[in-house]
């Protein structure tokens, strides 16, 4: 595996070095047929070039991943998607964005355990569209993209369900214990609760039975969202702890987002009020005793 990864690295280096000449021309040739305007959907042969250009993968061109059978034209177009193996580039100490740990987490996840070895990265991530959370235009967009990946399978009509709407209803029914579920689903990713709490993994997806059910896991000062979703939020936005600078942030989460200034002012004013009451009461008692 390591040898392969290194080979890929060499290939990547060569391609990158030769990018202006060969890869760009080659990519342009691919887009002569494969250009699309819509979202980059899995399995689609139409690729939105503008969206692809924003991804880290754009620098690699097309044929680094679509290698076999695609170099010449007309190509056979029979290469199965499963042959595209992300581990070839993303494994090993020298790999760009080494993801060894993530691969192990996926292997241990309910996804891999239930589907066997067939559970590829591309089942959830679209490499033509992929942006790391830190490069997403907003947290809300990151949440939407992540949850859409889950819903692509988990809100698809299963046996006995006539439509995807039925599947969506069935999914909602499993989450009725969460108040305002839709709002929750817009404010956090499925993986926040469906992976172990307060760890920065979002790939070790557990069975539904093991999902977080304690509200305080998120709704508290040491919210698990710190180690998951908001890990990616720029550090300067949360220098006073988890989103304490509520004013500059985009969200409010009871228990987790607090205005420290307001809280400490409240507690102090309360303390002062109680002290004054105590003093007033003591003075009344003393004066009453003196009078009698």
Is there a contact between 142 and 232 (Cβ–Cβ < 8 Å)? yes
Total interface residues for other proteins by CB under 8 A: 38
The separation between the first and the last C-alpha atoms of the chain, rounded to the nearest angstrom, is: 95
Q: Considering the complex, what minimum distance in angstroms separates the CB of residue 20 from other proteins?
A: 42
Decide whether 18 or 272 has the Cβ nearer to other proteins: 272
Q: Considering the complex, what minimum distance in angstroms separates the CB of residue 196 from other proteins?
A: 14
Q: Per-residue x/- marks for other proteins, 250-279, CB under 8 A? A: xxx-xx-xxx--x---x--xx--xx--x--
Q: Report the distance separating Cα 225 and Cα 243, nearest Å.
A: 10
Decide whether 94 or 263 has the Cβ nearer to other proteins: 263
The verdict on 216 binding other proteins (CB under 8 A) reads: yes
10 Å CB burial of residue 252 (0-12, 13-18, 19+) is: exposed
Token output for 16: 């990158």
The verdict on 63 binding other proteins (CB under 8 A) reads: no
The verdict on 283 binding other proteins (CB under 8 A) reads: yes
Q: Considering the complex, what minimum distance in angstroms separates the CB of residue 277 from other proteins?
A: 5
Q: Considering the complex, what minimum distance in angstroms separates the CB of residue 251 from other proteins?
A: 6
Characterize the bridge pairing of strands 35-36 and 47-48. parallel
Decide whether 81 or 215 has the Cβ nearer to other proteins: 215
Q: Considering the complex, what minimum distance in angstroms separates the CB of residue 192 from other proteins?
A: 15
Q: Considering the complex, what minimum distance in angstroms separates the CB of residue 216 from other proteins?
A: 5
Is there a contact between 35 and 46 (Cβ–Cβ < 8 Å)? yes
| Site for other proteins, residues 130 to 189, rule: CB under 8 A | 179-180, 182-183, 186
The verdict on 236 binding other proteins (CB under 8 A) reads: no
Residues that bind other proteins (CB under 8 A): 179-180, 182-183, 186, 214-217, 219-222, 246-247, 249-252, 254-255, 257-259, 262, 266, 269-270, 273-274, 277, 280-281, 283-284, 287-288, 291
């Amino acid at each position: 595996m390591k040898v392969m990864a290194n080979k890929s690295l060499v290939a990547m280096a060569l391609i990158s070095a030769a990018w202006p000449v060969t890869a760009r021309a080659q990519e342009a040739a691919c887009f002569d047929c494969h250009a699309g305007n819509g979202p980059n959907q899995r399995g689609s042969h139409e690729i939105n070039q503008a969206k692809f250009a924003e991804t880290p993968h754009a620098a690699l061109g097309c044929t680094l991943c679509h290698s076999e059978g695609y170099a010449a034209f007309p190509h056979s177009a029979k290469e199965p998607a499963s042959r595209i193996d992300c581990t070839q580039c993303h494994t090993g100490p020298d790999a760009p964005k080494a993801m060894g740990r993530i691969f192990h987490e996926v292997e241990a996840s309910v996804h891999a355990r239930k589907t066997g070895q067939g559970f590829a990265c591309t089942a959830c991530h679209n490499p033509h569209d992929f942006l790391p959370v830190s490069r997403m235009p907003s947290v809300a967009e990151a949440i939407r993209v992540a949850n859409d990946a889950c819903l692509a399978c988990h809100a698809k009509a299963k046996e006995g369900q006539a439509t995807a709407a039925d599947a969506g209803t069935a999914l909602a029914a499993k989450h009725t214990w969460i108040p305002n579920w839709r709002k929750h689903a817009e404010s956090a990713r499925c993986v926040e609760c469906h992976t172990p709490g307060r760890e920065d993994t979002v790939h070790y997806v557990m069975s539904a039975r093991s999902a977080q059910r304690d509200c305080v896991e998120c709704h508290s000062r040491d919210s698990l969202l710190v180690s998951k979703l908001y890990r990616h939020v720029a550090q300067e936005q949360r220098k006073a702890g988890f989103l304490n600078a509520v004013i500059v942030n985009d969200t409010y989460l009871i228990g987790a987002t607090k205005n420290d200034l307001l809280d400490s002012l409240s507690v102090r004013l309360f303390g002062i009020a109680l002290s004054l009451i105590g003093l007033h009461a003591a003075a009344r008692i003393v004066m009453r005793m003196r009078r009698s």
